[in-house]
């Protein structure tokens, strides 16, 4: 009997082993078959598409969006070309990385790719309204808001009327800088510049300064800086549910949705305090048709009906104002910080710029806006800074509204378009030594001008096509003016222990290409006109 039981156990053991081997073989066969099918399908599909890296199952090429995505994409473009295809989860994507590819695409497909993909951060922060100038879909609403901004903020007449505002705000903060320079302490240049650009924008929008220079204003300044740090950080964050919608629970588990929701409340609280939309509405009712009152931009938004006869809601107005002040504040300040960073490691170029300023402006007055056209070398420094350190190295993503054909390949609707401005500005076909800071390259080629409006795509710091930044002229003037004042009125040196050779020039990405470490400099007055 024992022998029979032993025999039975051996039989069951052999059978179980055979089942396991058979099961493992079946699983292996299924995996291999699935892999072969996947590779075959992807290979057949990609034969009809522009070149690009091989996608992983499910996630595709999403890994390239981590870290410094503009550099990751530039490295891939060096292998695959100026027009590259990526599979971002479930989303097809075209990446433009050379001037020639940008020119070809925008000449023929600008309208098709003028739409915005829906993003988690836009959805939560805007309350699903998508009504800011940056996030609104291309169409009647967007065209009306763009027209209002062009007419009421960025027209030549309005720009000229704000000359005194720009001058007053720069001079006001220069006094602060002068006082701080007497202590010989290192100054956080970015913080100082943000005060200039923020006050300039609030005066343009609501005819009043938001930041003062007293201790009581520090919390407001801190809140303001925190808002746009969060906005740009969110805009530069990779949200996996934007590319694989079924994985939104991942963002919930990571707490991203809760953080965005909390930030939306904070944003509306601070921006509401700045712009006081409801107070504007009440004041309009109280004053009636007062012919003396000059309306500000909030009044314009409240009183301008859309083409369908409806008025903008408070939420829509806050979204528009937030995008305006964000685009005109942090990006401009960051560009000047990069310009000063490059000039600190290139003292000969800095000295040449100061010599030009001394020759044109002299030492009996401060720089004026009318001086800028007479400062050609300063303008080359501004161009080279915009080239090497474009405010937004990857332009805000676009998407196609309908199927289209690009470079002989068919793409479905909602194909994303990424314009890699960082890579385009380093296109070796356009620029020699593209990674070097060489303003002289624009002395030799003055026709390369991001402000000319000509059909040139080698220098596009404000984007390209219909959705390029509407305030590009203001941005260029503010960068030029602030940089000219800093160089004309002060000499600069690095803090103890920091040299031209070891100044950290590394970057971080939060939609805007920021310095990884703040730039601290010590100022010494050099212009007698400023010693009062």
pLDDT tens track, the chain, 532 positions: 445 455 555 544 555 555 555 555 676 666 565 555 555 555 556 667 899 999 999 999 999 999 999 999 999 999 999 999 999 999 999 999 999 999 999 999 999 999 999 899 888 887 777 788 888 889 999 999 999 999 999 999 999 999 999 999 999 888 888 888 888 889 999 988 988 998 999 899 988 887 765 544 667 777 777 777 888 888 888 899 999 999 999 999 999 999 999 988 888 888 888 888 888 888 877 776 666 677 889 888 988 888 888 888 888 888 888 888 888 888 999 999 999 999 999 999 999 999 999 999 998 899 999 999 999 999 999 999 999 999 999 999 999 999 998 888 888 999 999 999 999 999 999 999 999 999 999 988 877 888 876 668 999 999 999 999 999 999 999 999 999 999 999 999 999 999 999 999 999 999 999 999 999 999 999 866 555 4
Predicted pLDDT at 437: 97
- Annotation: binding site: 469
d(CA 329, CA 231): 12
- Annotation: binding site for heme: 469
Q: What is the domain extent for residue 142? A: 62-530
Tell whether 306 is covered by a domain. yes
d(CA 270, CA 220): 8
Sort 291 into a burial class: Cβ within 10 Å, 0-12 / 13-18 / 19+.
exposed
Supply the DSSP string of 217-254, one letter for each residue: GHHHHHHHHHHHHHHHHHHTS--GGGTSGGGHHHHHHH
The C-alpha angle with vertex 396 and arms to 466 and 116, in degrees rounded to 5, equals 70
Q: Which of 160, 478, 531, 526 is nearest to 358 (CA)?
A: 526
Predicted pLDDT at 9: 52
Tell whether 51 is covered by a domain. no
Please state, in angstroms and as integers, the Cα–Cα distance from residue 387 to each residue in 235, 351, 423, 457, 478, following that order: 22, 21, 10, 11, 17
Q: Which of 464, 465, 521, 467 is nearest to 491 (CA)?
A: 521
Please state, in angstroms and as integers, the Cα–Cα distance from residue 473 to each residue in 57, 150, 159, 332, 478, following that order: 45, 11, 9, 12, 9
Domain harbouring 158, CATH code: 1.10.630.10
Q: What is the DSSP letter of 348?
A: H
Which run of H or of E encompasses 337? helix 330-344
C-alpha of 256 from chain center: 21
Predicted pLDDT at 269: 82
Predicted pLDDT at 353: 98
Tell whether 274 is covered by a domain. yes
Q: Which residues contact 378 (CB under 8 A, 6 or more apart)?
A: 353, 356, 357, 372, 480, 483, 484, 487
Tell whether 23 is covered by a domain. no
Question: Among all chains, which residue has been given the structure tokens 């470490």?
Answer: 517
Predicted pLDDT at 215: 46
Which run of H or of E encompasses 525? strand 520-525
d(CA 20, CA 10): 15
* Residue 38, number of CB atoms within 10 A of its CB: 12
Please state, in angstroms and as integers, the Cα–Cα distance from residue 5 to each residue in 9, 14, 18, 500, following that order: 6, 14, 20, 86
Q: Which residues contact 247 (CB under 8 A, 6 or more apart)?
A: 240, 241
Predicted pLDDT at 274: 82
Supply the DSSP string of 83-118, one letter for each residue: EEEEEETTEEEEEE-SHHHHHHHHHHHTTTT-B---
Predicted pLDDT at 526: 87
Phi, psi (degrees; rounded to nearest 5) at 85: -105, 135
Tell whether 109 is covered by a domain. yes
Q: Which of 85, 98, 81 is nearest to 53 (CA)?
A: 85
* Residue 83, number of CB atoms within 10 A of its CB: 22
The per-residue pLDDT for range 299-353, each reduced to its tens digit, is 889 888 888 888 888 888 888 888 888 888 889 999 999 999 999 999 999 999 9
* Residue 395, number of CB atoms within 10 A of its CB: 25
Q: Which of 516, 470, 502 is nearest to 150 (CA)?
A: 470
Tell whether 13 is covered by a domain. no
Six-digit token string for 258:
């809760």
Tell whether 337 is covered by a domain. yes
Tell whether 425 is covered by a domain. yes
What is the pTM for the complete model shown? Answer: 0.89
Into how many domains does the chain fold? 1
Alpha helices by DSSP H, listed for 406-502, are 421-424, 440-444, 472-489
How many CA atoms lie less than 13 Å away from 180 in the CB half-sphere?
19
Predicted pLDDT at 66: 92
Predicted pLDDT at 529: 58
């Amino acid at each position: 009997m024992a022998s029979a039981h032993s025999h039975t156990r051996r039989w069951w053991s052999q059978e179980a082993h055979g089942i396991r081997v058979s099961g493992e073989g079946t699983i292996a066969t299924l995996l291999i078959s699935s892999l072969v099918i996947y590779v075959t399908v992807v290979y057949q599909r990609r034969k009809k598409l522009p070149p690009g890296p091989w996608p992983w199952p499910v996630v595709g090429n999403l890994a390239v969006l981590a870290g410094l995505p503009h550099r990751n994409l530039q490295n891939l473009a060096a292998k695959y070309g100026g027009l590259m295809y990526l599979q971002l989860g479930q989303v097809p994507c075209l990446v433009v990385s050379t001037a020639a590819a940008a020119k070809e695409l925008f000449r023929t497909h600008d309208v098709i790719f003028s739409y915005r993909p829906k993003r988690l951060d836009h959805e939560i922060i805007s309350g699903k309204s998508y009504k800011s100038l940056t996030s609104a879909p291309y169409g009647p609403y967007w065209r009306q808001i763009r027209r209002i901004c062009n007419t009421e903020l960025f027209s030549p007449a309005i720009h000229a009327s704000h000359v005194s505002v720009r001058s007053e705000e720069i001079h006001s903060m220069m006094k602060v800088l002068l006082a701080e320079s007497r202590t010989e302490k290192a100054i956080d240049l970015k913080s100082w510049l943000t005060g200039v650009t923020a006050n300039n924008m609030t005066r343009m929008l609501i005819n009043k300064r938001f930041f003062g220079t007293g201790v009581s204003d520090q919390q407001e300044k801190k809140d303001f800086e925190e808002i746009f740090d969060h906005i740009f950080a969110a805009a530069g964050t990779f949200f996996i549910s934007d590319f694989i919608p079924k994985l939104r629970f991942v963002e919930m588990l990571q707490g991203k949705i809760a953080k965005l929701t909390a930030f939306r409340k904070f944003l509306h609280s601070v921006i509401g305090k700045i712009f006081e939309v409801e107070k504007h509405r009440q004041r309009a009712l109280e004053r009636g048709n007062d012919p003396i009152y000059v309306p500000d931009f909030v009044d314009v938004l409240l009183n301008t009906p859309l083409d369908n006869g409806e008025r903008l809601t408070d939420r829509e107005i806050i979204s528009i104002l937030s995008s305006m002040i964000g685009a005109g504040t942090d990006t401009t300040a960051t560009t000047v910080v990069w310009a000063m960073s490059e000039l600190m490691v290139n003292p000969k170029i800095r000295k040449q710029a100061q010599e030009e300023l001394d020759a044109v402006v002299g030492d009996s007055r401060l720089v004026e806006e009318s001086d800028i056209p007479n400062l050609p070398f300063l303008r080359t420094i501004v161009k080279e800074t915009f080239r090497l350190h474009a405010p937004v190295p990857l332009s805000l993503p676009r998407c196609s509204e309908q199927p289209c054909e690009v470079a002989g390949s068919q793409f479905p609707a909602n194909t994303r378009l990424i314009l890699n401005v960082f890579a385009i500005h380093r296109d070796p076909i356009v620029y020699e030594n593209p990674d070097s800071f060489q303003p002289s390259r624009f002395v030799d080629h003055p026709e390369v001008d991001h402000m000319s409006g000509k059909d040139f795509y080698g220098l596009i710091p404000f984007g390209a096509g219909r959705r390029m930044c509407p305030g590009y002229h203001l941005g260029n003037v503010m960068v030029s003016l602030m940089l000219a004042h800093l160089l004309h009125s002060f000499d600069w040196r690095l803090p103890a222990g920091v040299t031209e050779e070891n100044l950290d020039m590394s970057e971080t990405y939060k939609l805007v290409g920021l310095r990884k470490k703040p730039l601290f400099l010590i100022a010494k007055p050099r212009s007698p006109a400023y010693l009062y």
